[in-house]
Each structure stands twice: as structure tokens, then as C-alpha cells.
Amino acid sequence: MDRELPISSSLADGGGVANSIGAKVEDAVRAAHQATDKIADKATAQLDRIADRAAAQVDRASGRAHRALNTAADAASSAAAWVSAVPASIRARPITIVAGALVIGYLLGRLARR
């Protein structure tokens, strides 16, 4: 359904047809820009929500990592303190330590036979 207007009719009405077509094109462009802006606004809102959720997850993971690191450091310092205390305890009570080791060995041997 192509409509062809004779050149004389477009000139006779003072370019009204051209202005009408130009106005329709401008309206279509304006509508396309508005639709694009609306889509961009929705996408921006979604990305902001996703970024906020991701930041919250990173903060939680960071907190957990810090707690784990602190727990590991506490365990290491406790182990170091225990290791440094063992030789002093052995020197202070050598007979008690040897007797305790013999009892523990005997009990483990009895449990292994069963």
C-alpha cells in the first residue's frame, strides 16, 4: 500500500504532508526514547538491588573469614602455650608423667585387643 503523492500536491499544500510525516517520525522517535529510558531505569534499579545484595554477601563472607582467622590465631597461640608448658610440667613431675603414660598405654592396649 505505497502511496505516491504527486510532487505538485506536496508543493501545493505548502509542505504540509512533509510536516505531517516529520511530526509522526518525531513522535515515533520520542516514544522510542521514552521506552528506552523506561527500560534503562528498570535495569538500573535491578542492577542496584543485585549490587546491594552482592555487597551484603561479601560483607558476611568477610566477617566469617575474619572470625575464622581469629579462631585459627587463638588456636595457634593456645597450642604454642601448651607446647611450651609441657616440658616444664615433665621436669616438675617426671615420675607422675611416666606413670600416667604407662597407664594410658595399658588402657589403649586393652582396648585394642577387643
Tens of pLDDT along 54-106? 999 999 999 999 999 999 999 999 998 888 888 888 889 999 999 999 999 99
What's the pLDDT at 15? 58
29, 24, 27, 16: which is closest to 5 by C-alpha?
16
What's the pLDDT at 33? 92
**In angstroms, what CA-CA distances link 31 with 19, 35, 36, 67?**
18, 6, 8, 54
